[in-house]
C-alpha cells in the first residue's frame, strides 16, 4: 500500500516504477481511501500500541494506493525494497529512504508474511479469496 503521505506528495508514479523495475508484477491495483474504521481493522495487530490512534488518523487522512504484487520470494524482497520502518534507518535507495518523512508517514506498507499477504489482499480485493 502506498500511504497517504506519498500519494499526496506526488510520489505514486515513481514508487510504482521502482516496484516494477525491481521485478514485481502488479496483479491488482486500486486507488481508494480508508475510513478510521477500516484503517483500524487493517492495523488491528497494533491496537494496543501507544501510536495506534495516530496511525489510524494518518492512514485515513487521504487517498492510498493498494496493490497485490507477485514475485518469487516476494515478502522478503519487498521488505528489502521498502527499507526500515524508520526512514532515518532505511538503507540508501530504498523507497522509505527516498520518499518517507517520518516513522509514521513512511510512504509505503508491505505485508510481513505470506499469511498476512493473503489476508491483506482480501481486505482490498475479493477475488483473492482462493490464494
Active site residues: 109
Q: Which stretch in 14-22, 61-69, 70-78, 109-117 sits in contact with ligand GTP by CB under 6 A?
A: 109-117
Site for ligand GTP in 18-77 (CB under 6 A): 46, 51, 54-55
Question: Is-contact 58 100, C-beta < 8 A?
Answer: no
Taking the C-alpha atoms of residue 45 and residue 29, their distance in angstroms, rounded to an integer, is 24
Which listed residue (9, 35, 85, 114) binds ligand GTP by CB under 6 A?
A: 85
Shortest distance in whole angstroms from residue 47 CB to ligand GTP:
12
Query: Which residue in the block uniquely carries the three cell numbers 481511501?
Result: 33
Output 50 or 130, the one with its CB closest to ligand GTP: 50
Question: Is-contact 4 62, C-beta < 8 A?
Answer: yes
Residue 106 binds ligand GTP, judged by CB under 6 A: yes
Question: Cell digits for 9?
Answer: 506528495
Taking the C-alpha atoms of residue 44 and residue 41, their distance in angstroms, rounded to an integer, is 5
First to last CA, the chain: 19
> Residue 94 binds which entry of ligand GTP, Mg ion, none, with Cβ cut-offs from 5 to 8 Å by kind?
none
Residues near ligand GTP, by CB under 6 A: 46, 51, 54-55, 85, 103-104, 106, 109-110, 112
Amino acid at each position: 500500500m502506498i500511504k497517504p503521505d506519498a500519494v499526496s506528495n506526488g510520489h505514486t508514479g515513481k514508487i510504482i516504477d521502482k516496484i516494477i523495475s525491481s521485478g514485481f508484477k502488479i496483479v491488482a491495483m486500486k486507488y481508494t481511501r480508508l475510513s478510521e474504521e477500516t484503517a483500524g481493522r487493517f492495523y488491528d495487530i497494533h491496537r494496543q500500541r501507544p501510536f495506534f490512534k495516530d496511525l489510524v488518523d494518518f492512514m485515513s487522512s487521504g487517498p492510498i494506493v493498494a496493490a497485490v504484487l507477485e514475485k518469487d520470494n516476494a515478502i522478503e524482497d519487498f521488505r528489502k525494497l521498502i527499507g526500515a520502518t524508520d526512514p532515518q534507518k532505511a538503507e540508501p535507495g530504498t523507497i522509505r529512504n527516498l520518499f518517507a518523512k517520518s516513522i509514521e508517514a513512511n510512504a509505503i506498507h508491505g505485508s510481513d508474511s505470506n499469511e498476512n499477504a493473503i489476508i491483506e489482499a482480501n481486505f482490498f480485493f475479493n477475488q483473492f479469496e482462493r490464494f
